[in-house]
Structure 1
Amino acid sequence: MAGIKDVAAAAGLSVATVSRALNNHPSVSPEARARVLAAVEALGYRPNAVARSLRTDQTRTIGLVISDVLNPYFTELARSVEDEARTRGYSVIIGNANERPDLQDHHVRTLLERRIDGLLVSPADGRSPLMLDTAGGGTPMVFVDRWIPGVDVPVVRADGRDAVRDLVAHLHGLGHRRLAIIAGPAATTTGQERVDAFREALHAYGLPLPDEYIGQGDFQADSGRRATERFLDLPRPPEAVFAADNLMALGALDAIRARGLRVPDDIGLAAFDDIPWFVHTDPPITAIAQPTAELARAAVRALVDLIEGRPPQSVTLPATLVVRRSCGEPPAPAPTTSQRRSNL
C-alpha cells in the first residue's frame, strides 16, 4: 500500500508539503496541489483518508489513545494533554486501550471515523497492522510515552536509562546484591527498554540478572502480585524488587504484606513511574519519576504542528530518581533545635 512518502516522491515534493496539500493548507500553490492530487490518483493512496484530508473544514478535535486510564501516570498525562490542547483551541476525545491491542485498534478506528484532525497514541502493542497503516496513511499522528520502532512519526517520551542506572547504584550502595525486576510486556518499547537498562546497570556492578529474578508483568497490579509471589517462593528470594511501573509496584506491595513481610525490613521495593500515592504508603516508595505534564505539552505541540503544516519535533526528556524509604534508606535526620526555631 502506498504511503505519504511515496506520494511525495512521485510528486517531487516534501512530505510536509504533501501533508499541507492534503489538508488544504493555503500556503500550498495550485501547481503543487495539482501534482499531489495527480500522484494520489496514480498511486491509489488511501482514497478514504484523502477524502477526509481534502475537506475545507477542521473539527478542531484530536484523539488520544492511552494504554490504561486506571494507571495514575496515564491519568495525569490525559489531563495535561487536555489542558494543553484547550489552550490551542482543540478538544480531545480519549480512548482507553486497557493494555489490549484489540481495544487500541477499536479506538483508533472509531476516532478516525469521527474525523479527528490528529491522533496521539501510546501504543499497547507495536505489531498492529492498523497502527502501521494509520502511521503511513497521512493522518497526523504522534507517539507519546511508547513508540513503534521503525515507524516514521514524531515520538515524545522520557528516557529512563540514566534513572535506572541511578536506582541500581542506589540499591548497591544500600548493600543489596540480589535484585529482581517485574518487567512490562516485551511487545512494548517501554517494557523492553526498562529491562535492558536494568540488566546493563547490574552488569556494571558485576551483578547477574538470572531468569528467576525476572517476573513477566503486563503493567497492571495483578501481574505485579503474581511475580512477587513467585520471587518470595524462591530458595533465595531477592533482596529488592524493581517494578517497571507503578501499578505492578502496588501489586508487589500487596503480595509482600500478604506474606506477613514488611518493606523494607524483609525486602526492598522500588518502582518506575512515581505517583502521588507513593508518599503516603508506609514506607514511602522510592520511584523513578517521568516529567508527565511536560511530555503531554510537547506531544500536543508536535501534533498541532503536524496538523497545521509546520515541521514537528520529536522530544526526549529525562526521568529522575526520587529516593524515599522503601529500599532500606536511613530515615531523614530530625531537625535540630535551631532549625525548629527558624521554622516558627
Structure 2
Amino acid sequence: MRYSKIRNMEEFAAVSGISRPTVSKYFNDPGSVRASTRARIEASLKKYDYQPNVFAMNQNRRTTKNIGIVVPNLADPFFSEIARRVELACIDAGYSPILASSHGSPEMERENLLSLRSLKPAGVLLAPFGRMSDEDAVKDISDDFPLVLFDANIGDVGQAFVGTDNAQSVDLMVEYLCRSGEPPCFFEMKSPSNPNANKRRQAYLDSMQRHGREPSIFQADGEGWHFEEIGKTEGGRLLSSKAFDTNTVLCSNDRLAIGMLSAAYDLGLRVGHTAGCDIRVAGHDDHPFSRFTCPPLTTIAQDYEAIANRAFNDLFEMLEQGERLSKRAETTFEGRLVMRDSA
C-alpha cells in the first residue's frame, strides 16, 4: 500500500498516533522516550518513510531548550494552577521551563522579560497585565523570540493568543441567574488589574440587553491584586447599605466573590438560592478555592488544561517548524457553568 508523502512532523505524529511533543522529544534524544514508544516511532518511520526536516530542527540551536513562562502573580492560585499545567506541557516535550512571577508589578514584568532575553530562551509564554504592561518590552521580546500570550491579550503583539471566551462565559452565567431567580447586578473593581474585567463588564451589558433586563453595575474602589480584601470591604459596604437592586450579585471574578461571601457572613446574611436566603453570589474563573467557600461558589470554569496545552502547542509549532506562524493565531475556549450552593 502506498502512502502520500508526509511533509512535516505534525503529519507524522498524526498518522503514527503519537503526540507531537513525544515525537519531537524522540528526534532530539531517542533515549529520552520509553522503549515501547521508541519502537512505535521507529516502526512508523519505516512504514511511512519519513525523514524529519533537520534544518527546521536545528534552526534555533543558538538558543537553549529553555521556555520562559511569565505570569502576573504566582500568589494568585488561578495563575499558579495554569502555570503548573504549562510547566508540565513543557517538560513533557523535553523543554526546561523557567517560571517567573511579576508579583503584581508591571515594572517587574518588564524586568522579567529583560532577564529572559539574556537566557536566550527557545520561546516565551506570557500572561501579561494587559493595558498596564510595557507594550514596547513585550514587542521587543516578540521580535526576537517566538512569543505566545495567554489569559490576557495585547492587541496584535506576539504570534498567538489563547484565553477564555468572556462573551460566551458571562452570557452563560447571566442566562442561568435570570432563569433561576432575580437578574444579577454586576460587581467589579473601578480600576481592574486584568483586561478580562473590561470584557466581562461589556459581556454583562450585552447579555442583560439580550434578556430584556436593566443592567446595574457597581464598582469598588481599590486597585492591585488584593481582590478578596476589596470584595469584603466594598462588597460589605454595598450590602450593609442595601445598594444592590436585586438579591443576585455577579462578581467579575471569584476572588471578589470570595471577599463578598466573607462580608455577607459578617453581616449575618445567608447566601444561597434556597428559601430563607438573603442574597445569591456568583463569580467567574472557578478559582481553586471556590468549591471550598461557605457556601460553595457558583461560577464559570475556565478550561485550564486546554488553555495551557494550546498555548504551548502554538509555541511548539513555531519551534518545530523553525519559523513564525504565517498569521497571528487567536484561540478562545468556552467557559462551563458550575452550579453550587451560593447561587
TM beyond 0.5: yes
**8 Å Cα contact 1:181/1:195 also seen in 2:** no
Uncovered stretches (5+) of structure 1, i.e. residues with no partner: 1-24, 29-52, 328-344
Report the residue type matching 2:287 in the other structure.
Answer: I
- Partners of 2:190 and 2:96 in 1: CA distance: 31
* 1:76 paired residue number: 81
Which of residues 242, 263, 267 is equivalent to 1:255?
263
Whether 1:154 aligns to 2:160 is yes
- Partners of 1:310 and 1:183 in 2: CA distance: 41
Alignment of 1:134-145 (within 5 A): 134-145=140-151
| TM-fit CA distance, 1:55 | 7.4
Whether 1:315 aligns to 2:337 is no
Which of residues 58, 63, 71 is equivalent to 1:58?
63
Alignment of 1:13-162 (within 5 A): 27=55, 56-126=61-131, 127-162=133-168
* 1:207 paired residue number: 213
Uncovered stretches (5+) of structure 2, i.e. residues with no partner: 1-52
- Partners of 1:197 and 1:183 in 2: CA distance: 16
| TM-fit CA distance, 1:280 | 2.7
**8 Å Cα contact 1:185/1:191 also seen in 2:** no
Report the residue type matching 1:107 in the other structure.
Answer: N
| TM-fit CA distance, 1:135 | 4.8
Whether 1:226 aligns to 2:233 is yes
Deviation string, structure 1 residues 233-258 (Cα, Å, up to 9, x no partner): 44442422222222222222222212
- Partners of 2:324 and 2:60 in 1: CA distance: 21
- Partners of 1:108 and 1:83 in 2: CA distance: 21
Report the residue type matching 2:148 in the other structure.
Answer: V
* 1:342 paired residue number: none
| TM-fit CA distance, 1:311 | 5.3
* 1:37 paired residue number: none
* 2:28 paired residue number: none
Which of residues 283, 288, 294 is equivalent to 2:295?
283
Change (3 A) 1:54 1:310: closer
Percentage identity across paired residues of the two chains: 25
- Partners of 2:60 and 2:156 in 1: CA distance: 30
Change (3 A) 1:186 1:150: farther
Whether 1:270 aligns to 2:282 is yes
**8 Å Cα contact 2:174/2:184 also seen in 1:** no
| TM-fit CA distance, 1:132 | 3.9
Change (3 A) 1:83 1:56: closer
Residue 299 of structure 2 aligns to a residue whose secondary structure is strand
- Partners of 1:107 and 1:235 in 2: CA distance: 44
Whether 1:179 aligns to 2:185 is yes
- Partners of 2:159 and 2:137 in 1: CA distance: 11
- Partners of 2:92 and 2:195 in 1: CA distance: 30
Change (3 A) 1:266 1:81: same
Residue 137 of structure 1 aligns to a residue whose secondary structure is helix
Which of residues 231, 240, 253 is equivalent to 1:245?
253
Deviation string, structure 1 residues 147-205 (Cα, Å, up to 9, x no partner): 10232520011113222112111111222135122248556431211111111111222
Change (3 A) 1:178 1:243: closer
Of stretches 286-295 and 128-137 in structure 1, the one that deviates more from structure 2 is 128-137
- Partners of 1:191 and 1:182 in 2: CA distance: 8
- Partners of 1:205 and 1:215 in 2: CA distance: 25
Q: CA RMSD in A?
A: 2.6
- Partners of 1:155 and 1:55 in 2: CA distance: 22
Report the residue type matching 2:187 in the other structure.
Answer: I
* 2:21 paired residue number: none
Residue 213 of structure 2 aligns to a residue whose secondary structure is coil
Report the residue type matching 1:261 in the other structure.
Answer: L
